[in-house]
Amino acid sequence: MALLYMRRITGLDMYEGLYEPVPDTGKVLERIGLAGLEVKHDLRTLDMLIDGFITHIPFENLTVAYEHKVPSLAIRDLYDKIILKKRGGYCHELNGLFYAFLKSLGFDVYCLAVFVRENVDGLPTLGHRSTMCIIDGRKYFADVGFGKTMAGFAVPVDGTLRGDFFIRYEDGEYTLFKTRSEERRVGKE
């Protein structure tokens, strides 16, 4: 059982480099295999963008593991590394760039601080970053930086089953469930 606790990130003014627009949305679309896509602010497009990121940009932490560096999370640096140099990244990098990309395309999005906790004694809670997207007044959990165990599409935050996933809000916390395996908890907004 894995638990995800979500909290909306606010007060970002001092970190403006982390939330600036991507330099060229066309190059991002090209990198994720969707060059020329007519972007609409709908669920189908959001799902295509999530799938494009997951299938074309690898989840990796080579900068940390082999170069022993903490990578910059500034959007221009992420764009350079992931889009221009065709590298991958870990959750804070991938979801940070994805958030900025969606925002640059005109989607209504906000950042989430998520805490992952496996139901294993002694395993610490892990920090994670994700994105919430609002389409036609409905909230969707959109994550491109959790690897294969996360949905490859947007998950509605209203209890509706989508694929194998649904999210329930109870006692001030969002809980993400995967019907065929693990339960994940997604915390307070």
Residues with catalytic roles: 91, 128, 143
Residue 157 and residue 143: Cα distance in Å, rounded? 13
* Other beta carbons less than 10 A from residue 84's beta carbon: 12
Residue with tokens 């994670």: 128
Question: Is 76 within 8 Å of 101 (Cβ atoms)?
Answer: no
DSSP 30: H
Given CA atoms 108, 59, 189, 42 in this order, what sign does their dihedral have? positive
DSSP 42: S
Strands 165-170 vs 183-186: parallel, antiparallel or unpaired:
unpaired
Q: Which of these, 108, 166, 111, lies nearest to 138 by C-alpha position? A: 108
Residue 185 and residue 112: Cα distance in Å, rounded? 13
Question: Half-sphere exposure (CA, 13 Å, Cβ side) for 115?
Answer: 13
How far is Cα of residue 17 from the mean position of the Cα atoms in its chain?
18
